[in-house]
Amino acid sequence: MKVVAVSHDFAKSTSYFQRFIRGGNEEAILKSHSALSSLITLHILRKKQFDPFLQYLGFTLVKNHHSSLGNAENELKLSMGVRSLSKQWESVDSSFKEWFSKKFDISDFNVDEMISYMESLAGRFRFKIVPKLEIEHYFLTHLLFSILVSSDREDPILGDVDISPVPVEVGRFESYISNLGEKSGIDRYRNEFQAEIRAYTPKAGRIYSITAPTGIGKTIGNILFALKIREELGENRMIIYSLPFINIIEQTVSLLQKIFSTRDPLSILPYHHLADPDYDESEYHMEENIRKFIMESWTSDIIVTTFVSLIENLITNRRSIIFHRIPGSIIILDEIQAIRHEIWGAVERIFEFLPKLGATVIISTATRPMIFKTTEIVGNNVKYFEVMNRTKLKVMNAMNLSGFKDFLRDLLSDGKRTLIILNTIREAEEIYDHVKNIGDSCFLSSLVLPIHRLGRIEKIYSKKVDICVSTQVVEAGVDISFERVVRDLGPVDSVVQSAGRCNRNFEYDRGEVIVVPVMDEQNRNILFSKYVYGSFLIDQTMKALDGINEVEEKDFQRIVDGYFMNVVNLGNTDREGIMESIRKLSFDDLSGFSVIKDTVNVPFLILIDDKSEEIFEELLDLRRRNMDKFTKLAMMDKLFKKLSPYIVNARMNSGISMPFEKEFGMVVIRRDFLESWYDSDKGLRIREKGGSILI
């Protein structure tokens, strides 16, 4: 790495580059510096007799440090020709060459000879080395590239500014726990759960699991165990808390800020595309580009992020600036089974490797998926499933949407507070229209603006809603509770999460969870659930529930275990060949990898009030200003985040024509169009054909 650190910017010493940075109008190919620098690096590594893989590694790191890594088998080549490389080499001042040679001897460097050597190494590498590569080579490449890119960006942005993470105060956590006390019967079990975690002695480089029912306090338990790992290992390791959805991130960050009595982003940092860290201006007087760097480099004590961000940062090098922060960290995966099963196999292999980099992984779940081989730290977790016996689940026969409407109207006549969870927007909207006049009701889906969703959830917390019709947005991270939950069929783990919104804190004698497979009579009676989850997971769910009419919550785990066993054994959990691409160091092939299946999602900015219009106009004005590019981008990024409560994403069919302006990649709906395009109850008025869903 020392060779790469010294040589990666060697070609900035060419006369072409020096004239360019002074404002000269140089030919693009001659002012570039990566090609010659990578050839110099290869020369040094060859001369020092590094093995062929490390020679390749140094070459590709330097070649791509201002772009991204490509497929290893095609990397040992340059787009710049011998003539241009020779002109660059000859333009370097002899005194600089002499100075550089005191560090690494380049006195015998010859462009023609090194091009010839590079081409011969390429052949050997492709046919003899690539077939022998393993996951270790991938992560070594990823790690060193991240170190180089991060260091290269850090110096010009930060200068002398210190942005070291600020450790959270463990004493505040202990004080928060002690103040909770035992206000209800369930608190006794929560305290016992925490005591079991405290009693466990962790070791470095392991994969642990915390398995316990919803509502037992796993978020606090997860942080408790992460802090205990820190204490036992004696290092201030970064904690990465990873969750399925953005809405859960904000809730988790709010809880952590309350527990540790800090809003300092250098202590607790939310990381996703809508996050907006709240800096204390009296303490941090820094440029916008420094703030952006803190966010993008995960410079904080506790990072709270999504599975999408974490897993895509591990598999691709789209955000290479982050990866070097992973080794030695403590990673909490909260309900990891929420990712699509087609990538379970690859995710398992990746996280099983991370302990070799010094990371410790915590799998936290209510359903114990069989994705990882783990060490369970809650030895008596069966007890918690038995005592948290809050609900009884009933499985109904399949019915079409019309029959389901009739079923609901009869069911709701008893006045019980009921949450109805559907799989598709169309299904949810039709059911809402059918039941909204039965009692005080509300509607939740991803097409409802976040600013409106939040208000409705607050009403639910206050018990001011009798009937809530929702898509799956309430399944995780929203700690609401109803006396009854009706759930259109979904995968078993999804059904269990839905059940967690029923009688959550023992408010009722026994909660009722009703699962109904609902069919789309407009499309050959296909189950609505298959539009969202596909046939495989729904078929496995039907098998797991076959023959079951009623089951108590304490017995859910038996059904869950059988379901996951079938999914793992019968499903292709690396359908996309991710591990083969990783083994071959095919970074270019992996660049398009996505945790979420490819969809055409269109962001809609809906300007519903004066505040949203003012922020948007400020954004347009900023774009027109003549100012430093990086400062402008950072300031625009902050305004985008202020607009996030007014943005929804919709899956669109191609060819749809809409009379709206498009700015910054968003469709902008101004107030003149609100009546036709945004419904105060159901949100954005875009309904896709065929039952496509947004969740």
Instruction: Quote the CA–CA distance of 85 and 62 in Å, as a whole number.
Output: 15
DSSP-derived 3-state class of residue 577: coil
User: For 285-289, 447-451, 481-485, 578-582, which range has the lowest pLDDT when averaged over its residues?
Assistant: 285-289
Q: What is the mean pLDDT of residues 110-123?
A: 95
Name the amino acid, one letter, at 287: E
More confident residue, 658 or 610: 610
Please write the tens of the pLDDT for every residue from 408-453: 999 999 999 999 999 999 999 999 999 999 999 999 998 999 999 9
**Hey, what are 530's tokens?**
């298959």
Write down the pLDDT at residue 659: 63
Q: Is the pLDDT of residue 546 over 90?
A: yes
Those residues whose C-beta lies under 8 Å from the C-beta of residue 634, and which sit 6 or more positions away, are 287, 288, 289, 291, 292
State the greatest distance between any 2 C-alpha atoms of the chain, in Å, as a whole number: 91
Cβ atoms 512, 392 nearer than 8 A: yes
Work out the average pLDDT over 561-577.
87
The residue-averaged pLDDT of 596-608 equals 81
Q: Please give the residue that has the higher pLDDT: either 185 or 406.
A: 406
Tell me the pLDDT band of 689, cut-offs 50, 70 and 90. Answer: very low
Taking alpha carbons only, the member of 311, 319, 317 closest to residue 588 is 317
| Mean predicted confidence (pLDDT) in 171-197 | 87
Angle, alpha carbons 422-423-428 (nearest 5°): 45
Tens of pLDDT, residue by residue over 269-294, are 988 755 544 444 434 445 667 777 88
SS3 of residue 482 by DSSP: strand
In the chain, the domains with their CATH numbers are 2-132 (1.10.3210.30), 170-384 (3.40.50.300), 389-548 (3.40.50.300), 601-691 (no CATH)
pLDDT digits (tens, 9 = 90+) for 213-257: 988 889 999 999 999 999 998 878 999 999 988 778 878 888 999
Between residues 367 and 396, which one has the greater pLDDT? Answer: 396
CB 493 within 8 A of CB 536: no
Please compute the mean of the pLDDT values over residues 464-480 and round it to a whole number.
Answer: 87
Q: How confident is the model at residue 473 (pLDDT cuts 50, 70, 90)?
A: confident
- Which residue has better confidence, 22 or 437? 437
Distance in angstroms (rounded) separating the CA atoms of residues 335 and 369: 9
Residue 586 pLDDT greater than 90, yes or no: yes
Give pLDDT tens digits for 63-116: 999 889 999 999 999 988 999 999 999 999 999 999 999 999 999 999 999 999
Q: Where are the beta strands (DSSP E) in 110-255?
A: 207-211, 239-243
Q: Where are the alpha helices (DSSP H) in 419-575?
A: 425-435, 450-461, 492-499, 528-545, 556-570
| The pLDDT of residue 657 | 57
pLDDT in tens, 384-408: 999 989 999 999 999 999 999 999 9
pLDDT tens for residues 628-659?
A: 777 787 788 788 889 989 998 887 655 555 66
Is residue 605 over pLDDT 90? yes
- Rounded to the nearest integer, the mean pLDDT of the chain is 88
Tell whether the model's pLDDT for residue 177 goes beyond 50. Answer: yes
DSSP string, 338-379: GS-GGGHHHHHHHHHHGGGGT-EEEEEESS--TTS--EES-T
CB-based contact 502:456 (threshold 8 Å): no
- Any idea which of 117-121, 155-159, 256-260, 554-558 has the lowest mean pLDDT? 155-159
Question: Which of 14-28, 80-94, 165-179, 363-377 has the weakest average pLDDT?
Answer: 14-28
Q: How far apart, in whole angstroms, are the C-alpha atoms of residue 199 and residue 225?
A: 10
Question: Which whole number is the average pLDDT over 509-523?
Answer: 96
DSSP state of 246: H
Give dist(CA 385, CA 560) in Å, integer: 13
Q: Give start and end residues of each alpha helix (H) in 181-277.
A: 185-199, 218-233, 246-260
What is the band of 125 on the pLDDT scale with cuts at 50, 70, 90?
very high
> Any idea which of 22-26, 143-147, 448-452, 675-679 has the lowest mean pLDDT?
22-26
Residue 399 phi/psi, 5° resolution?
Answer: -145, 150
Pick 187 or 416 by higher pLDDT. Answer: 416
What are the residue ranges of helices labelled H in 546-685?
A: 556-570, 578-583, 587-590, 610-624, 629-643, 674-677
